[in-house]
Amino acid sequence: MSNDTATRAAEYDAGLSKPFPLSGLLALAMTGFICINTETLPAGLLPQIGEGMGISQSLAGQMVTAYAVGSLLAAIPLTIATRAWRRRTVLLMTIAGFFIFNSITALSSNYALTLVARFFAGASAGLAWSLLAGYARRMVPAAQQGRALAVAMVGTPIALSLGVPLGTWLGTLVGWRAAFGVMSFLTLILVAWVCSSVPDFQGQSGTRQKPLREVLTTPGVRPVLGVVLAWMLAHNILYTYVAPFVAVAGLGKQVDIVLLLFGAAALAGICITGRLVDGKLRAAVLASLGAFALTTVAFGLAGTSAGVVCAGMVAWGLTFGGAATLLQTALADSAGDGADVALSMNVVVWNSAIAGGGMLGGVLLTAWGVRAFPWAMLALIMIGLWTAWAARSHGFPAGHRSSNARVGGH
């Protein structure tokens, strides 16, 4: 055993004895919850927003588009601009952005101003997503980084499975403006939570900052981003058009139940991932993609069966729940000191896949119908699976993360 390997093994064993910062990590999870809910809240309230602002539902839907564009355009430049700042300062800045721009959305009667507020709320989210994974990793020793990231990411499946329908119900009950007001109130609670539970860290000094090109060409970074693109494109083809897909199986009036199955399974998936990510990251990625591929085959062969669709939703949720944890851990491990910049690239790729999945799914739906979804998804998943399989040396290395020289390099 080399001296470096022995040192990492000793650091790993020492890390297991340190207390786990659950409260601080859950504060990060709450930040992710607010990101997702702020993004998707208008989607469930388009009739109310359209009526309240005197615009069409299609124009109201551009509130979601403006948010996504803000995330795409701002993630990398804001991350680079703030990477020398104290980490908690940046985190609080993103949360303050949600408070300000959700409040403007709640109060504005001007459509253009509302779109501007949504754009900058998206910019806040882009910075937050590039920050959260690296922050969670720095809060724990290397031995606990995968588990910490799993906890920090749990806000996403909770928001997708519970937050969105609850927000839609609240907006229907008390009005869409009040729903955005509740989101602003939650950010105030989160500010106090972060100040009391989340430790502060220094940013990167000028001598340690890697340029964008150097981070992108770091061994392992591009394969991981390639897997992110393929996996999330396949996921979003189906997730965006899940309603017409399940309608073929006679579940058109039970979309909420179908999505609840998916969300509950995703929560279970992230719990399972938290136990596997540090020791079996490569195996977990390959198994998740393989199981997702088999699920799409089942959808393709028996997508008219309600039982198959429901079982497939559970399998799909299980494979998707841990995706963010697995992919961001692999990306941060590969990037080392350039993790924040690499994770900002992940935000761009991830959101591009959301938009691309929606567009590609729309083309497939118009040209061939929902029965074409599984086969297009299968092709994408196989590309991702091959990329992950080939990235054995860098990106998705075999063995325990404690044996990876870049672990903890952030």
Q: In the numeric block, which tokens belong to residue 410? A: 């952030």
Distance between start and end Cα atoms, the chain: 24
Burial of 223 (0-12, 13-18, 19+ CB in 10 A): buried
Whole-angstrom distance, CA of residue 233 vs CA of residue 373: 11
**Residue 143: what pLDDT?**
78
φ, ψ of residue 279 to 5 degrees: the values are -100, -25
Whole-angstrom distance, CA of residue 180 vs CA of residue 121: 12
Check: CB of residue 257 under 8 Å from CB of residue 314. no
Whole-angstrom distance, CA of residue 379 vs CA of residue 376: 5
Instruction: Give the Cβ contact number of residue 272 at 10 Å.
Output: 16
Q: What is the CATH code of the structural domain delimited by 20-197?
A: 1.20.1250.20
Q: Where are the domains of the chain?
A: 20-197, 212-396
Check: CB of residue 235 under 8 Å from CB of residue 384. no
Check: CB of residue 347 under 8 Å from CB of residue 186. no
Same fold, 20-197 and 212-396: yes
Cβ-proximal residues to 189 (8 Å cutoff; 6+ apart), any chain: none
- Please provide the size of the chain in residues: 410
How would you classify residue 21: left for phi > 0, otherwise alpha for psi between -120 and 50, otherwise beta? beta
pTM: 0.80
Superfamily of domain 212-396: MFS general substrate transporter like domains (1.20.1250.20)
The residue type at 36? I
Q: Which of 223, 251, 201, 235 is CA-nearest to residue 342?
A: 223
Whole-angstrom distance, CA of residue 344 vs CA of residue 77: 9
Instruction: Give the Cβ contact number of residue 25 at 10 Å.
Output: 26
Q: In the numeric block, which tokens belong to residue 53? A: 């602002």
Task: For the chain of 410 residues, list the mean pLDDT of each consecutive stretch of 10.
Answer: 50 60 95 90 80 85 84 89 92 97 95 95 92 89 83 81 74 88 95 96 70 88 96 89 88 82 87 87 96 97 96 95 90 86 88 84 89 96 97 89 52
Show the 3-state SS of 194-253.
HHHHCCCCCCCCCCCCCCHHHHHCCCCHHHHHHHHHHHHHHHHHHHHCHHHHHHCCCCHH
**Residue 408: what pLDDT?**
42
Whole-angstrom distance, CA of residue 159 vs CA of residue 35: 9
**Residue 137: what pLDDT?**
86
Whole-angstrom distance, CA of residue 44 vs CA of residue 27: 26
